[in-house]
Amino acid sequence: MLHPDPFTVRALLGDEAAVARRAISGEIGVALPPLADHHVHGHLVDLAKVFLGGIAAVIDLGGDPAALFRAERAVPHIDYAGAFLTAPGGYPAGRAWAPPAIVREIGRSSGEGATGSAPTAVDEQADFGASVIKVALNADAGPVVDAHTLAAVVARAHERGLPVVAHAQGAGMTRLAVEAGVDALAHTPFTEAVDDALLRGALDRGQVWISTLAIHDGPALPRAVDNLRRFAAAGGRVLYGTDLGNGPQPLGVNAAEVRLLLAADLDGAAVIAALADPWPRAAVLHGVSTFVPGAPPASLAEVPDWLAGARVVPTEELVPDDQ
- The pairing of strands 288-293 and 311-314 is antiparallel
Instruction: Determine the Cα angle at 184 with ends 44 and 113, to 5°.
Output: 105
Residue type, 17: A
The CA distance from 223 to 235, in Å, is 19
Q: How far is the CB of 211 from Zn ion (least distance, A)?
A: 12
Q: How far is the CB of 120 from Zn ion (least distance, A)?
A: 23
Nearer to Zn ion, 28 or 168 (CB): 168
Nearer to Zn ion, 29 or 92 (CB): 92
Q: How far is the CB of 144 from Zn ion (least distance, A)?
A: 16
Nearer to Zn ion, 246 or 315 (CB): 246
Q: How far is the CB of 197 from Zn ion (least distance, A)?
A: 28
**CA-based torsion, 185, 191, 195, 197: positive or negative:** negative
For residue 57, the 8-state DSSP code is E
Nearer to Zn ion, 64 or 243 (CB): 243
For residue 319, the 8-state DSSP code is E
Nearer to Zn ion, 20 or 60 (CB): 60
Residues in the chain: 323
Q: How far is the CB of 81 from Zn ion (least distance, A)?
A: 10
The CA distance from 18 to 36, in Å, is 18
Alpha-carbon radius of gyration of the chain: 20
Residues that bind Zn ion (CB under 5 A): 243
* CB neighbours of residue 87 within 10 Å: 23
- Dihedral pair phi/psi, residue 126, rounded to 5°: -60, -40
Nearer to Zn ion, 115 or 254 (CB): 254
Q: How far is the CB of 210 from Zn ion (least distance, A)?
A: 9
Q: Which residue is nearest to Zn ion (CB)?
A: 243
Q: How far is the CB of 256 from Zn ion (least distance, A)?
A: 16
Torsion of CA 28, 31, 37, 41, to 10 degrees: 50
Nearer to Zn ion, 251 or 288 (CB): 251
